[in-house]
Structure 1
Amino acid sequence: MKIKIVVFGLIIAFSSNDTLAQPVAFPGASGFGSQASGGRGGNVFHVTSLADSGTGTFREAVSEPNRTVVFDVAGVIRIINKIAAAPNLTISGQTAPGEGIVVYGNGISFKENTIVRYMRFRGSINMPRGACTVNIDSCKNVILDHVSIEWGRWDNLHIKNSSNVTLQYCLVGEPIDPQRFGALFEHPTNITVHHCLWIDNQSRNPKAKAGIEYINNVVYNWGVSGLVGGHSEADHFQDVINNYFIAGPNSNNNFIAMFTATDHVYHSGNMVDDNKDGMLNGRVAIDTDFVHVKATLVPKKQNLPANAVTVETAEAAYKTVLAQAGASLHRDAIDTRIINYLKSLGKEGKIFKTEVDAGGQGPIADGKTGTDSDGDGIPDKWETAHKGNPKDAKDAAAVNSAGYSRLEEYCNGLVL
């Protein structure tokens, strides 16, 4: 297929306002990573092929900085080698037709100033033994929104020495041999994790050697341990607020584990349901739960992003996570199966050794995209309805009074 890259050039305002706001990554972005601008103001790249590499592929799309990536195809992108993404990218998975996109078979690493939405990244038992599915190391200003991350061999997710990162409405689950761990956070600061589902991870939901706010998450069917502290000589600062810990078939009683005196913990409003009776009827987590694992308790929240998370009760967060976590615009068979484990409230779920044991990666339904005559990433029908010119690619860069380009307005509107 022919490659489709459109260069926007000069940004022009279609607002009468003289001063444009500096918007967050997209409406609904919150926490420390919400100021990422991604590929705003750059070029648009159409993914037109499901091949591993070559013209029009996802690998090519993320190989250069300052791009917004849109998808003209849906399906499974099977990769052999790890993908190293460039900085300053917006990856708009919500633009894919049908059931969306899966990047399967190996991992991906992200760099600074990156926005990723409505994507699925799945590793494989065939990738190296120590490989993670997603790496966010040594960078800043990254937000992952409604992303599914599964089948990592060491951890599903690794974040090291980074800052200003948000994970929101993500699904992190089903890691495979040899470790079957959820995520390792090694000394990042200013990390927000909210409304994420951590499911069927043997441990590390995540392991938080970090300055982190951990809000409104659901942890289900942990194995040997749920949320893990830093337990190291360095000081770590964890805010654990209104999360729901729900035991599953593989769970013991360690919904939190391995905190030590160097872990400075503020906790409030957390719930624990460990009776595996098929009903949501947990108890409130108390100081003793954290003192038992030797955490140092503090009286107030320590991590304070400029754009704060809207906090729900743990019970309300369970419902939100059930509906929203992962690439939930169109859930595929794998994520649907995993969500059904959560719905069982203790009755179902499993920690697998390989993705084949879990049923493997099946097909993803394709669909049709609208005609985009000027290749600017916006279908003609939408442009016409919103007083744009479907034969002028430059107008996709025009900025509205909220500070978003017309291309961003279209992409964001798909999931509002």
Structure 2
Amino acid sequence: MKIIIGLLVIAAFFANELFAQPVAFPGASGFGSQATGGRSGTVYHVTSLADSGAGTFREAVSAPNRTVVFDVSGVIHISAKIKAAANLTIAGQTAPGEGVVVYGNGISLAENTIVRYMRFRGSINMDRGACTVNIDSIKNVILDHVSIEWGRWDNLHIKNSSNVTLQYCLIGEPIDPQRFGALFEHPTNITIHHCLWIDCQSRNPKAKAAIEYINNVVYNWGVSGLVGGHSEADHFQDVINNYFIAGPNTKGNFIGMFTATDHVYHSGNIVDDNKDGVLNGRAVIDTDFVHEKATLVTKKQNLPSHTVTTESAEAAFKTVMNQAGASLHRDAIDQRLIGYLNSLGAAGKIFKTEVDAGGQGEMVEAKGESDSDGDGIPDKWETANQLNSKDPKDAMQVKSNGYTPLEEYVNQLVTTGRN
């Protein structure tokens, strides 16, 4: 009997391993990596660059349980904020050509969302206190290779949320009146890794949070770089192997506004504040945080089940330079910002409006490939992978690896392109 029970336990273990939920996509890590998005839901094709109506991005994200794919590229001009539904995968990598930009106002995300290779840009025409992306009071969200710019209050706002990852994102060029990067108000289980924070007056981010902040690059901050919670509540920040690089507008310290209620573990960080065009920073030491009155701890405090593969700060600089933002096809704006970073202190500017920065130009529009059954997978890919291009149901059948064929297709685009 003991032998039989033992065999059953072993069989159950391997069955659980076989059918265990995979991470959101290969390469997802941190606290938000278990988001499932629109897996096994329906597919919505964005076929129009209009603000609203059938085939638009606004319509695509208005209902839950969807994977959003793009049959067009270009600039989507929006006048009012978009409120997205729950359980969405927004697969920006499916857009042909240079991809898409959602420009003119912001978006608020909902529970269990995966967003990849998108560009969200606000505008001076938004409300004075508006942010470009809001992730408030929700859980299980991951943003991967997303560009977030031109927010009026902050580019990004995360409040009372949990299990959130931002990885390989570009958070830059917030505009008047605050010109701040991001405000995190009491979220827990937050992972921020391999992101570029560029041309933000402050809040890169403001971390009133339980957060792991790993392998980020902060460039050309104004009055302060990474900001503590400086409140009566306790906050727990792990600051590991980041590179802080001063630019033309930098006047303040690379960290700021920490207090005794900020419990900080730090390791492997570098600051380069000489603006000499050479990457030659010095190691961040305990005194840097003690001077800001932080409470130092000796062990990492935030421990996700799927840990970030951590690089040295020098290696992370190169990774961020190559990958941050919607980098499959960087548009002119993101290329300009990467150029600032590459100057290592000589170039960059904290602008008052997006017009001062050059504005949002138009992009060359392109069309996607033929998808006869409308399941989100082009006919060519279905044929090559033994699927039926006339059967829309086969795209959403979960395989033994935990992913659907549609997920396998959109994930493969990241490494191999549309062909």
Match of 1:270 in 2: 269
Counterpart mapping for 1:305-344 below 5 A = 305-344=304-343
Match of 2:288 in 1: 289
Q: Distance in 1 between matches of 2:385 and 2:343?
A: 44
Deviation at 1:47, TM superposition (A): 0.3
Q: Distance in 2 between matches of 1:57 and 1:160?
A: 28
Q: Distance in 1 between matches of 2:87 and 2:398?
A: 18
Match of 2:157 in 1: 158
Deviation at 1:405, TM superposition (A): 0.1
> Could you tell me whether the CA contact under 8 Å between 2:155 and 2:180 is conserved in 1?
yes
Q: Distance in 2 between matches of 1:236 and 1:351?
A: 29
Counterpart mapping for 1:44-59 below 5 A = 44-59=43-58
Q: Distance in 1 between matches of 2:125 and 2:274?
A: 37
Match of 2:230 in 1: 231
Q: Distance in 1 between matches of 2:17 and 2:272?
A: 53
Match of 2:88 in 1: 89
> What's the secondary structure of 1:45's corresponding residue?
strand
Match of 2:11 in 1: none
Structure 1: unaligned runs, 5 residues or longer: 1-15
Match of 2:205 in 1: 206
Q: Which amino acid aligns with 2:157?
A: H
Q: Distance in 2 between matches of 1:250 and 1:18?
A: 51
Deviation at 1:402, TM superposition (A): 1.4
Counterpart mapping for 1:211-226 below 5 A = 211-226=210-225
> What's the secondary structure of 1:415's corresponding residue?
helix
> Could you tell me whether the CA contact under 8 Å between 2:40 and 2:397 is conserved in 1?
no
Deviation at 1:413, TM superposition (A): 0.3
Match of 2:35 in 1: 36
Q: Which amino acid aligns with 1:215?
A: I
Deviation at 1:397, TM superposition (A): 1.3
In the alignment of these two chains, the number of paired residues is 401
Match of 1:167 in 2: 166
Q: Distance in 2 between matches of 1:331 and 1:160?
A: 29
> Could you tell me whether the CA contact under 8 Å between 1:70 and 1:92 is conserved in 2?
yes
Q: Which amino acid aligns with 2:131?
A: C
> Could you tell me whether the CA contact under 8 Å between 1:23 and 1:404 is conserved in 2?
yes
Counterpart mapping for 1:75-114 below 5 A = 75-114=74-113
Match of 1:10 in 2: none
Match of 2:255 in 1: 256
Deviation at 1:162, TM superposition (A): 0.1
> What's the secondary structure of 2:19's corresponding residue?
coil
Counterpart mapping for 1:55-66 below 5 A = 55-66=54-65
Q: Distance in 1 between matches of 2:190 and 2:132?
A: 19
Segment drifting more, 367-376 vs 71-80: 367-376
> Could you tell me whether the CA contact under 8 Å between 1:52 and 1:79 is conserved in 2?
yes
Q: Distance in 1 between matches of 2:351 and 2:364?
A: 25
Q: Distance in 1 between matches of 2:268 and 2:204?
A: 18
Counterpart mapping for 1:17-36 below 5 A = 19-36=18-35
Q: Which amino acid aligns with 2:297?
A: V
Q: Distance in 2 between matches of 1:273 and 1:233?
A: 31
Q: Distance in 2 between matches of 1:268 and 1:348?
A: 28
Deviation at 1:111, TM superposition (A): 0.7
Q: Distance in 1 between matches of 2:119 and 2:363?
A: 11
Q: Distance in 2 between matches of 1:164 and 1:210?
A: 12
Deviations 1:152-202 (A, max 9, x none): 000000000000000000000000000000000000000000000000000
Q: Distance in 2 between matches of 1:21 and 1:100?
A: 33
Alpha-carbon RMSD across the aligned residues, in angstroms, is: 1.2
> Could you tell me whether the CA contact under 8 Å between 1:17 and 1:401 is conserved in 2?
no
Segment drifting more, 91-100 vs 248-257: 248-257
Deviations 1:122-171 (A, max 9, x none): 00000100000000000000000000000000000000000000000000
> Could you tell me whether the CA contact under 8 Å between 2:40 and 2:398 is conserved in 1?
no
Deviation at 1:363, TM superposition (A): 1.1
> What's the secondary structure of 2:300's corresponding residue?
coil
Deviations 1:321-351 (A, max 9, x none): 0000000000000000000000000000000
Deviation at 1:398, TM superposition (A): 2.3
Deviations 1:277-332 (A, max 9, x none): 00100000000000000000000000000000000000000000000000000000
Scaled by the length of structure 1, what TM-score is found? 0.95
> Could you tell me whether the CA contact under 8 Å between 1:201 and 1:221 is conserved in 2?
yes
> Could you tell me whether the CA contact under 8 Å between 1:217 and 1:321 is conserved in 2?
yes
Q: Distance in 1 between matches of 2:177 and 2:368?
A: 40
Deviations 1:70-100 (A, max 9, x none): 0000000000000000000000000000100
> Could you tell me whether the CA contact under 8 Å between 1:21 and 1:403 is conserved in 2?
yes
Deviation at 1:228, TM superposition (A): 0.1
> What's the secondary structure of 2:158's corresponding residue?
strand
Counterpart mapping for 1:395-406 below 5 A = 395-406=394-405
> Could you tell me whether the CA contact under 8 Å between 2:222 and 2:252 is conserved in 1?
no
Determine whether 1:118 maps to 2:117. yes
Match of 2:3 in 1: none
> Could you tell me whether the CA contact under 8 Å between 1:21 and 1:401 is conserved in 2?
no
Deviation at 1:368, TM superposition (A): 3.1
Q: Which amino acid aligns with 1:117?
A: R
- Decide which structure has greater helix share: 2
Q: Distance in 1 between matches of 2:42 and 2:310?
A: 36
Q: Percent identity over the alignment? A: 82
